[in-house]
A = this chain, B = another copy of it.
Amino acid sequence: MTTRIVILGGGFGGMYAARALRRQLGRKAQIELINDENYFVFQPLLPEVGAGSITPAHAVSSLRVLLKGVHVRKAVVDSVDFERRIITVFQGIQRRPTEVPYDHLVIALGLGADLSRMPGLEEHALRMKTLEDARRLRGHVIEQLEHAQVSQVPETKRGALTFTVVGGGFSGVETVGELKELIDRSLPYYPNIAPSEVRVILVEYAGRILGEMPARLGDYAAEQLEKHGITLKLNTGVVSATGTQMVTTGGEVIDTRTIVATIGNAPLPVVARMALPHQHGRLKVDRTLRVKGGTNVWALGDCALIPLRDGAAERADFAPPTAQFAVREAKQLAQNIAATLKGKSPRPFHYTSRGALASLGARRGVAEIFGTQFTGLFAWILWRSYYLALLPGVATRIRVMFNWLLDILGARNLVQLRPQARPQLRYIHYRSGDTVYEAGHRSDGFYSVISGAVEMERKDPATGEVTRRIIGPGGHFGERLILGATRRQTTVHALEDTKVLVVERESFLMLAEGFPAFREYFRPYMEKRGAQWPPTPEG
């Protein structure tokens, strides 16, 4: 029977491993790649998607088109049975589990992110990991400009025009640079926003940015970003976040409605659950990329801790989580599997970085190639050319190049494509003193207090008399919305740090329809207000 090699993950590591295996082994092995999306994401372009200089479709390529001769399975990996050599997956929208057998397994699932150590950051920060994240960022930024254009409340306008990126690595630096360029090029169309009102902030825990690059380039990048109007906050971490503010380790409270978190790398749950040795959140492999303690199990890319020398201990002794290394690891891994199949010994991976490149926005970049350092426009052109060459597929390359040219010549695309619909149920965090809503506001949800406390203030429209009520955990407010009121009649403030659950009106009515217990619990509250409960469904 033909050997079955199954690769989990279709990023740089997995996709290039599949290609290299196909080339090495031809039809001598069945090669299958399992990925939860049917496309390969060109990660380094995500900041450009986030800033709208290329459209989302141009930062991705179909895995089926890229990997001819490889069986591509769009599925979510549920678990691996290393004894039976069986992977259990759920395919697309299928609810029946499918078992996939393997002879050799290659794990290239990458890393996830965990922001849960900083209260509120998980709920209120944007990410830059997936294509959807990038698309959401762009829609969110344009939404803030639209909001600032019409806002009459100074602190709301300040929050809408303060954009914060957390993390000064490649992803954070490129995101902040692109973000600033998007804003600068959009402002001429927003006459009510003065350029001086915009604040773009990069927050980094270490004392310098681009820690992976030589100090001189990091300093140059910092200088360029500052010259370009970006505020750098070094030696600064994040303590907590809400929908309107961020608190730093320096004790500063920043009014901001945009927090992009590029920090918090953590193993994906499916990898963490595998009965394999981990270290620093990654799979332990030997120098030949074999997972320690596994049989015919290999790993590469960001999910693997790959030693570059024997007795590796320091951070610099392990392969860094970059596309450049992943592509090289894929090559070595394919050779090693081919050698093993022939009964030969696999060989250790080693590779020395050829250099590093970063874009800073506004046609400035930094680069170090074979030890030589470049800055400015030339480094930026190098950066674009390098990534254009690395893009898989000629059609994609032509499209991206053409769109880059149009972007240099023309106006930035200001269209705000609708971001994902607002979730029907969501948590919101407030800091003590925050306004939850004010009388006269549009009613936007039913609120239930999970922790903390709020004070509700109601002014009688006839007598002008003010009544106050404190609502703590288990209490709720905003019932009038459910009965069809479109405006708030009360003002609510957080008395302490508070977490609430917000339910949209339509969802609340669905719950009342679907759960008799829920419906009956709320009956007295609704009937006290003279309402028919439940209301007759519309439509």
Contacts and interface: CB of A to CB of B under 8 A. Distances in A.
Interface of A: 37-39, 55-58, 60-62, 64-65, 73-75, 78, 90-98, 114, 116, 122, 131-132, 142-143, 146-147, 149-153, 189-190, 395, 398-399, 402-403, 406, 409-411, 413-418, 420-421, 423-425, 427, 437-438, 440-442, 444, 448, 450, 474, 476, 486-487, 500-501, 503, 507, 510-511, 513-518, 521, 539
Main SS at interface, chain A: mixed
Given A64-B189, A74-B146, A146-B92, A501 B486 contact: no
Contacts of A142: 38
A423 B424 contact: yes
A74 to B, nearest CB: 5
A33 B173 CA distance: 38
21 contacts: A38-B414, A55-B58, A62-B189, A64-B414, A65-B189, A75-B150, A78-B486, A91-B147, A91-B150, A92-B147, A94-B147, A95-B438, A97-B440, A97-B442, A116-B539, A395-B411, A398-B406, A420-B421, A424-B425, A450-B514, A511-B511
B94 A414 contact: no
A413 B517 contact: no
Given A61-B415, A78-B486, A92-B146, 18 more contacts: A38-B415, A38-B416, A39-B417, A55-B57, A56-B417, A57-B415, A62-B189, A91-B146, A92-B147, A93-B143, A95-B441, A96-B153, A97-B441, A399-B403, A448-B515, A500-B514, A501-B510, A501-B513
A411 B395 CA distance: 8
A122 B410 CA distance: 41
Contacts of A442: 90, 94-97
Contacts of A189: 62, 64-65
A383 to B, nearest CB: 23
A521 B510 contact: no
A423 B426 CA distance: 12
A151 B395 CA distance: 31
Copies in the complex: 2
A518 to B, nearest CB: 6
A301 B416 CA distance: 24
Contact of A516 (B57, B64, B474): B474
Nearest to A423: B424
Q: Which of A73, A93, A398, A417 has the most CB of B within 10 A?
A: A93
A418 B513 contact: no
A62 B420 contact: no
A514 B413 contact: no
Nearest to A539: B116
Instruction: Please name the 9 residue pairs, one residue from A and one from B, whose CB atoms are nearest each other, closest first.
Output: A501-B514, A517-B521, A95-B441, A62-B414, A448-B514, A39-B415, A64-B189, A395-B410, A91-B150
A411 B150 contact: no
A61 to B, nearest CB: 7
A92 B510 contact: no
A143 B421 CA distance: 20
Contact of A147 (B93, B132, B395, B421): B93
Given A147-B94, A448-B514, A420 B420 contact: yes
A507 to B, nearest CB: 5
A66 B450 CA distance: 47
Contacts of A55: 55-58
Contacts of A427: 510
Contacts of A190: 64
Contacts of A75: 150
A394 to B, nearest CB: 8
A153 B266 CA distance: 38
Contacts of A57: 55, 413, 415, 417
Q: Which of A95, A98, A152 has the most CB of B within 10 A?
A: A95
B418 A132 contact: yes
A189 B69 CA distance: 11
Given A411-B395, A425-B507, A514-B448, A94 B417 contact: no
A60 B116 CA distance: 38
Nearest to A122: B539
Nearest to A61: B415
A351 to B, nearest CB: 30
Contacts of A97: 440-442, 487
Contacts of A511: 425, 501, 511
A201 B131 CA distance: 33
A409 B394 CA distance: 12
A517 B417 CA distance: 39
A60 B444 CA distance: 29
Contact of A98 (B150, B450, B514): B150
Contacts of A539: 114, 116, 122
Nearest to A424: B424
Contacts of A437: 95
Given A96-B441, A97-B442, A474-B516, A62 B415 contact: yes
